[in-house]
Amino acid sequence: MSNDLQRDEARYKAQGFGNEMGIAGRVGLLIVDFVNGFADPAAFGGGNIPQAIARTTTLLAAARRLGWKIAHTRIVFADDGADANIFSLKVPTMLGLTEGNPASAIVPELAPAPGEYVVRKTVPSAFSGTPLAAWYVAHGVQTVVVAGCVTSGCVRASVLDAMQAGFRPIVVSDCVGDRAIGPHEANLFDMAQKCGDVLELDTLLSRIPNQ
């Protein structure tokens, strides 16, 4: 750990940031936008996203074994662009992620199983304008474990909204990825200070009761 990072962590701690929320109640899993387009460096991918997808296969298998409520997200715009928005104005290539475009399909190794909820969205957050929060509440979920991409975008937006909706977000640091490592690391640090717990997968699983 660099001296600068040590100083930063000490400053945040002195100001009261970075307390752990811990795990409470039923656990849900949210896998954000691990779709073909984000796995492809020629499209929306790059960085450490492939490694995060590979690691998430272990997380997903554990979640299924433990009976967690599991949700996946995809970015899906209308074929004719009728639902274009400010997000697509900023990143117009997102409009190509339509229902039938293979780039919008969830990667095969994380394909949803029956009973797992697939959330279609047109903004970064998995919660904004979707029934996801209500779905978790209906199933008694209090803690939401988050994997996916990109760390600095849709993952961060979803974690912030999960916290604001009253859930306890846990970001699995080796199961989230970004097309650039700098934003990935900076956002892991910032989320850990302000809106969620950040744990490696092995640490998380060691803290889950009744395995």
State how many domains the chain has.
1
Structural domain of 127: 24-74+107-207
Does a structural domain hold residue 80? no
Q: How confident is the model at residue 43 (pLDDT cuts 50, 70, 90)?
A: very high
Does a structural domain hold residue 116? yes
Distance of CA 20 to CAs 32, 176, 192, 194, 196, Å? 22, 19, 8, 10, 8
Does a structural domain hold residue 29? yes
Does a structural domain hold residue 17? no
Active site residues: 154
Give the pLDDT mean for 53-60: 98
Does a structural domain hold residue 60? yes
pLDDT > 60? residue 153: yes
pLDDT of residue 210: 62
**CATH number of 166's domain:** 3.40.50.850
Does a structural domain hold residue 101? no
Tokens matching residue 152: 């600095």
- Spatial CA neighbour of 177 closest among 1, 88, 47: 47
Predicted TM-score (pTM) of the model is 0.96
Give the pLDDT mean for 22-37: 97
Tokens matching residue 10: 């000490």
Q: Where are the beta strands (DSSP E) in 115-167?
A: 117-121, 141-149
Does a structural domain hold residue 100? no
Q: Is 37 exposed, middle or buried (0-12, 13-18, 19+ CB in 10 A)?
A: buried
Does a structural domain hold residue 94? no
Q: 91-104: per-residue pLDDT in tens?
A: 999 999 999 999 99
Cα separation of 41 and 46, whole Å?
4
